Amino acid sequence: MKKIHIKSLVLGLVIGIVGITTVFSTSEIKSATFSDSKVYFYGNEIPLKNSLVLIEKEGNSDAQLYMPMKELLEYMQFNVQWNSSDSSVNLTMNAYNGYDNSNNANIPLDIETTDADKKALDIIQRTGNWGYIEPYLPYMSSDGIKKSVEIYNSKHMNPSEHKKASDYINA
């Protein structure tokens, strides 16, 4: 059995306790107030049901702005579920507006071109996921496809992921 060094153990405990005390004392909240600040996602304001919270901590001159993460993630088409048994949050991507886009969703045959453009542009703006708008492509105008490609490319920095509108416009 190894010999335990009492001095090392005591010194470790003292350093640990001092370190933890310092961390807790510097993170005390000085004030917390509701904020009417706006949140934008790619230039579009996210309509929030709950207020943002501005937190000022002792010893820190910079205030921090906290937002309801669930609302942001749901806006971005995530399904957010709280698991109380292990205190975790589970995120999954939604099929957009009830359409199961992974199986080439059935888009109504009588959908207007402008409606298809609006839906696809909204989807690509919110999610950046090309697969979600593919079912709309046959119903979209050339301008709608071009704009969708532009938005998609702006959200993907890697040029190898970029799309070309001409690949999706029927001649």
pLDDT tens for 137-147 read 988 899 999 99
If phi over 0 gives left and psi between -120 and 50 gives alpha, with beta otherwise, what is residue 56? beta
Helices (H), 40-81: 69-75
pTM over 0.85: no
Residue written as tokens 């088409």? 77
Task: Quick: pLDDT tens for 73-116.
Answer: 887 777 888 889 998 888 876 654 444 444 444 555 566 778 88
Tokens representing 64 are 């921090």
- Taking the C-alpha atoms of residue 107 and residue 117, their distance in angstroms, rounded to an integer, is 13
Instruction: List the chain domain ranges.
Output: 28-91, 96-167
Can you state the angle between helices 142-155 and 113-127, rounded to 10 degrees? Answer: 0
